[in-house]
């Protein structure tokens, strides 16, 4: 299945939302089940993030996530949410080697992965070139700056970025360059609020914050984090549900009923011997 081109808006809609002052709500999803639930809501964008490495595959970071992982999860999300605008992360190493590989990998995420757009981290010269090349192939690109998880080895951990003056200025300049390179959206992660505000005010493309303060044009949260379904509790996460408590509670109840013989009942039985 590819993205159903007639049933959803193109990326320009998000620029229009910014101009009208309408906030953009984004959430991650990684599989058919979560996407099917998200598809019943009026969320604006689904991100198939490489955070799936941590929340779904149990890795300690995102850099082990492969193209095969991203394609298969993105396609599953598309099957669950046929009409949503889906952005899929380009995983580590999929855009760091040759231009040809970068372009092929972006194309695979929109073809086999059925995404509407791809996301890549960073704002160095080679990333700007990659953004230009992919946009030139008619594939919309969302950029990502700040605490970019694929840079965790260089950062020495998951640390807020852009705190000193030089780092603040570098991220600000990279944001301007990313917009000039043709990205339609910019995710800002783990930066001081002032930097998030200044970038948001300076750019015409929308910014989507995650730990970037209150003034971005939209927000993104990881599905599992906001539902209380992960063990991640960074400061920027608000939990809107508590699945880590309600799921074990349901499983314990089921286990108890199986053990005591109160499940299954006639109600759950095909061709029961006695009539209900």
The binding track of 126-145 with respect to ligand KIV, each residue x by CB under 6 A or -, is ------------------x-
By CB under 6 A, residue 187 contacts ligand KIV: yes
**Long-range contacts of range 233-242, CB-CB < 8 Å, 24 or more positions apart?**
234/158, 235/211, 236/190, 236/210, 236/211
- The answer to whether 109 touches 103, Cβ cutoff 8 Å, is no
222 belongs to the binding site for ligand KIV (CB under 6 A): yes
User: Is 100 in contact with 130 (CB distance < 8 Å)?
Assistant: no
Angle at 57 between CA 54 and CA 63, to 5 degrees: 55
Cβ(52)–Cβ(222) below 8 Å = no
Contact 30, 53 (CB under 8 A): no
Does 74 interact with ligand KIV (rule: CB under 6 A)?
no
Determine if 210 is a binding residue for ligand KIV (CB under 6 A): yes
Least distance to ligand KIV from the beta carbon of 239, Å? 16
* 28 near ligand KIV, judged by CB under 6 A: yes
- Residues 198, 249: Cα–Cα separation, whole Å: 45
Is 51 a binding residue for ligand KIV by CB under 6 A? The answer is: yes
Binding pattern to ligand KIV, positions 84-113, x when CB under 6 A? -----x------------------------
189 carries an active-site annotation: yes
Site residues (vs ligand KIV, CB under 6 A):
28, 47, 49-51, 89, 144, 187, 189, 210, 220, 222
């Amino acid at each position: 299945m590819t993205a159903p081109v007639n049933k959803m808006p193109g990326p320009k809609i998000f620029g229009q939302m910014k101009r009208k002052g309408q906030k953009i709500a984004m959430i991650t999803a990684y599989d058919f089940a979560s996407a099917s639930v998200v598809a019943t809501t009026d969320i604006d964008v689904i991100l198939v993030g490489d955070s799936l490495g941590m929340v779904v595959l149990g890795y300690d970071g995102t850099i082990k996530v492969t193209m095969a992982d991203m394609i298969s999860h993105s396609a599953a999300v598309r099957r669950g949410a046929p009409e949503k605008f889906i952005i899929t992360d380009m995983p580590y190493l999929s855009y760091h080697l040759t231009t040809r590989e970068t372009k092929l990998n972006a194309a695979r995420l929109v073809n086999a992965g059925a995404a509407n757009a791809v996301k890549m981290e960073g704002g160095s010269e080679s990333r700007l070139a990659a953004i230009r090349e992919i946009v030139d192939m008619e594939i919309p690109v969302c950029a990502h700056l700040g605490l970019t998880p694929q840079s965790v080895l260089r950062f020495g951990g998951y640390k807020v970025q852009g705190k000193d003056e030089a780092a603040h200025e570098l991220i600000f300049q990279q944001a301007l360059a990313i917009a000039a390179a043709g990205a339609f959206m910019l995710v800002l992660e783990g930066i001081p609020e002032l930097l998030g505000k200044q970038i948001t005010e300076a750019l015409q493309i929308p910014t989507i914050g995650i730990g970037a303060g209150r003034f971005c044009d939209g927000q993104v949260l990881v599905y599992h984090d906001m539902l209380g379904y992960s063990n991640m509790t960074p400061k920027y996460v608000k939990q809107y549900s508590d699945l880590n408590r309600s799921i074990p509670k349901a499983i314990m109840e089921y286990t108890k009923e199986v053990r005591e013989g109160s499940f299954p009942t006639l109600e759950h039985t095909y061709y029961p011997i006695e009539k209900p």
